[in-house]
Chain A
Amino acid sequence: MSAIHCHQLCKTFHQGDEIITGLDHVDITIETGEFVCLSGPSGSGKTTLLNAIGGLDTPDSGEIRMGDLRIDQLERGALADMRLHHIGFVFQAYNLIPVLSARENVEFVMQVQGVAAAERARKARAILTEVGLEGLEDRRPAQLSGGQQQRVAVARAIVSQPDLVLADEPTANLDSVAASHLMGLFASLNENHGITFVIATHDKRVMAYARRLVKMQDGKIISDEAQ
């Protein structure tokens, strides 16, 4: 089954009098368990596509389907529910809620989902151990390094086993060692848990981990190749 199917997606932005094309008739299908990198220069439309797939932004026209669900037709509340139950997000920065500890950040999504406290605590502990943050559970984001914060974000994104993880420039603020650790973690989660990853990046080190590389330019897909 396809995780995501986009058909003829279009999106434009207005910047003063200027109209900027974010997505220009984009067609893409991402199968369950794939590890896809969206690459391209700044303004190529990769973040816009990621936001549209994640229901953070609505396209001007076209269709986005997740299974039988028409994401582009959902209202705000339903989109929030869809993200809560089906999608995990990892952003470039400012990924964590600063007033919550690492464990509480990981538990946050489960808490909103309505998972019982004991189960939340067990899952959070297990996933934080898996991402190498054992012993740091009670630290607030400000007490963690950039790499550790991204790991917490990854743990939060995958703890409730979503169908899809969307990551937008996840290594942009990390040094090469931390970036390499993070990508290794993504790859292992994809392999071991079968989680579908779609990562927007222009970092060549990240692209090296991809099994499918989609290149974008001016809102269009200019190449789509398996690696």
Chain B
Amino acid sequence: MAAHKLHFSVLLTLSWRNLWRNHRRTGIMLGAIAVGVWAMIFMTALMRGMVDDMLSQGIRNLPGHIQIQHPDFLDDPSVANSIAVPGAEFEALLQRLESKRWTTRIRVPAVIASERETRGINLIGIEPAAEDDVSGLPALLSEGRFFESPLDGGVIICAKLAERLETRLGKRVVVMSQDPDNNIRERGFRIVGIYRARLPGLEEFNVYAARDTMQRLLRIEGRVSQIIVVGEDYREIEPLYRQLRQQAPPGLQVRAWYEIDTYLAAMFNMMDGFVLVWVIIIFLALSFGLVNTLVMAIFERVREIGLIQALGMRPALILYQILMESTLLLLIGLGLGNGLALATIIPLQDGLDISVVAEGMAMMGASSMLYPKLTASDLLLANSVVILLGVLTSILPAWRAAKLDPVRALNST
């Protein structure tokens, strides 16, 4: 054990001193590792932030992390596939949930007509008191007011839709849909609010009305299309999801966001793989420099390696010494790269304004502010890949150094 400690000490001394034999080469390599690691962490944080934003926006637009609805509602989102407003027992269950943020919604296809234009829309009946927690609609209002009660007689439409209908705040519109008996039901509404959509392409056709007003219009008193439940974090909804699946009344379908929108789910699942591929690509570029540095460092001291072999250093110890040298180089580079990444990510925590490309971002479902998201797992991944693959790449040059023939090494020029 003591001998191993002494070996470690002599190997460490040799490795550290050899590392600084050629300051310029070591400095360049450290710079390359640091920039590579910075690129891994910084770009991953940007990508993670962008995808997280796209997912959050997408989930908010669904809305909710979990939806409870009629089993046929997804295939035919008509008023015929409505469910009863949660009874006392189910309401008690929802109240007991870890997240108490839930609401009910009515969602039907409808037609809206102004005095000039007509458009097909999604007519959404909401509970005004709970909506802020679910979709954040009140905060998006750019003109007018939010609903004052479940029986409010107004509608809230998107600014883009108002433009298309050639109408404005305070004007009246007519909304038409069908009741469960397929009778056309229509009603005049006053536009009481106009909202700016976060994702105009997706939200443009969402028209909001108060839930109870819609129940009366569609003659579905006591019924809704969906129960929307929002957890703390969309990534960690499994316990909530399981609990709801087990305890929801029979005849209701409970679906998580990733089952409702498979595109968002695919994006979420791809992200980790994408980060790994990104990190490995940067490492591959880095590894050429690393191997070249080691090969040069070994090439320059072949005679010295012959000498330490002659003095009685076992080949395995020579291998460990070269690997230790590489590990030290990687650790210092990692330290610098991590520091650089933190120094650039922390100041951007309040968001990076990318409004120059806002339209493009909106098409992808992301907002014009980008919030870099640094996670411990991404940091760990970047550092582990660099250190593990770095040491692995160093094995070949180290092994070749350990296998040098002492006589040839001593006679080399």
Physical interaction between A and B: yes
* A residues neighboring B (CB under 8 Å): 51, 54, 56-57, 76-77, 80-85, 87, 89, 91, 94-100, 104, 108-109, 111-116, 156
**Minimum C-beta distance from A200 to chain B (A):** 13
Cα–Cα, bound, A125→B188 (Å): 103
Known A-B contacts A84-B311, A89-B310, A94-B303; the reply to A77 vs B316 at CB < 8 A is: yes
Of the candidates B2, B10, B13, B307, the one whose C-beta lies within 8 Å of that of A91 is: B307
A77 engages B13 (CB within 8 Å)? no
Max chain B CB contacts within 10 Å: which of A76, A82, A113? A76
Residues of B within 8 A of A97 (CB): 14, 304, 307-308
| Bound Cα distance from A99 to B307, whole angstroms | 13
| Known interface pairs A112-B317, A116-B2; A100-B312 also in contact (CB < 8 Å) | no
Sample of 28 A–B contacts (CB below 8 Å): A56-B309, A56-B406, A56-B410, A76-B314, A77-B316, A80-B315, A81-B312, A83-B310, A84-B312, A91-B307, A91-B410, A94-B304, A94-B307, A94-B410, A97-B304, A97-B308, A99-B17, A99-B18, A99-B21, A108-B308, A108-B311, A109-B311, A111-B10, A112-B311, A114-B3, A114-B7, A116-B2, A156-B311
Within the complex, what minimum Cβ distance (angstroms) separates A168 from chain B? Answer: 9
What residues of chain A lie closer than 8 Å to B13, measured between beta carbons? 100, 104
- Assembled-state Cα–Cα distance A56/B311 (Å): 10
**Contact present for B17 and A80 (CB under 8 Å):** no
Q: How far is the CA of A96 from the CA of B310 in the complex (A)?
A: 12
Contact B6 A114 (CB under 8 A): yes
In whole angstroms, how far apart are the Cα atoms of A84 and B312 in the complex?
4
Q: Is B313 among interface residues, defined by CB-CB distance under 8 A?
A: yes
Contact with A along B384-412 (1 / 0, CB 8 A): 00000000000000000000001100100
Q: Is the CB of B312 within 8 A of A85?
A: yes
Residues 7-38 of B, flagged 1 when their CB comes within 8 A of A and 0 if not, give 10110011001100100000000000000000
B300-349 interface (Cβ within 8 A of A) = 303-304, 307-317
Bound CA span A212–B53, Å: 87
Closest to A157 in B: B311
B312 touches A109 (CB 8 A): yes
Instruction: Provide the bound-state CA to CA distance between A140 and B314, in Å.
Output: 24
Are A57 and B311 interface neighbours, CB within 8 A? no
Tell me whether B312 and A99 are in contact (CB under 8 A).
no
Residues of A within 8 A of B310 (CB): 54, 56, 83, 89, 91
A85: chain B residues at CB < 8 Å are 312
Q: Within 8 Å CB of B314, what residues of A? A: 76-77, 80-81
Docked Cα-Cα span, A81 to B6, in Å, equals: 16
8 interchain residue pairs of minimum CB distance: A84-B312, A114-B3, A99-B17, A83-B312, A111-B10, A80-B314, A56-B406, A57-B407
- Which residues on the A side are within 8 Å of B307 (C-beta)? 91, 94-97
Given A77-B315, A97-B304, check contact A111 B9 (CB 8 Å).
Answer: yes
- Residues on B with beta carbons closer than 8 Å to the beta carbon of A114: 2-3, 6-7
Q: How many A-B residue pairs have CB under 8 A?
A: 79
Which chain B residues border A76 with CB–CB below 8 Å? Answer: 314-315
Contact partners of B317 in chain A: CB under 8 A: 112
**Shortest Cβ distance from residue A154 to the other chain B in the assembled complex, whole angstroms:** 13
Please, how many angstroms separate the alpha-carbon atoms of A95 and B317 in the complex?
20
Bound-state Cα–Cα, A95 to B308, Å: 10
B304 and A98: CB pair below 8 A? yes
CB neighbours of A51 from chain B (8 A): 407
Residues from chain A with Cβ under 8 Å of B14 in the complex: 97, 99-100
Bound CA span A102–B290, Å: 31
* A contact residues around B311 at 8 Å (CB): 83-84, 89, 108-109, 112, 156
A83 to B406, alpha carbons, bound, how many Å?
12
Please name all residues of chain B whose beta carbon is closer than 8 Å to the beta carbon of A116 when the two chains form the complex: 2
* Contact between chains at A112 and B313 (CB < 8 Å): yes
Q: How far is the CA of A57 from the CA of B411 in the complex (A)?
A: 12
- Smallest CB gap from B10: residue in A: A111
Chain B residues near A109: list those with CB within 8 A: 311-312
A112–B7 contact, CB under 8 A? yes
Give Cα A25–Cα B312 distance, bound, in whole angstroms.
Answer: 27
Q: Tell me whether B6 and A111 are in contact (CB under 8 A).
A: yes
Residues of B within 8 A of A111 (CB): 6-7, 9-10
Chain B positions within 8 Å of A104 at CB level: 13
Q: Which residues of A contact B10 (CB under 8 A)?
A: 108, 111-112
CA distance A82 to B313 in the complex (A): 10
* Residue of B with least CB distance to A84: B312
- Set of chain A residues within 8 Å of B303, measured between Cβ atoms: 94
- Asked if A100 meets B6 with Cβ closer than 8 Å, knowing A91-B410, A94-B303, A109-B311, the reply is no
B126 nearest CB across to chain A (Å): 74
Q: How far is the CA of A57 from the CA of B407 in the complex (A)?
A: 7
Given A91-B307, A94-B307, are A80 and B410 also a contact pair (CB < 8 Å)?
no
B18, B307, B308, B309 — most chain A CB neighbours (10 Å):
B307
Given contacts A95-B307, A98-B304, contact A112 B312 (CB under 8 A): yes
User: Which residues of B from 55 to 108 have beta carbons under 8 Å from A?
Assistant: none
Shortest Cβ distance from B14 into A: residue: A99
- Residue in B10, B18, B308 whose Cβ sees the most chain A Cβ within 10 Å: B10
Query: Which chain A residues lie closer than 8 Å to B9 at the CB level?
Result: 111
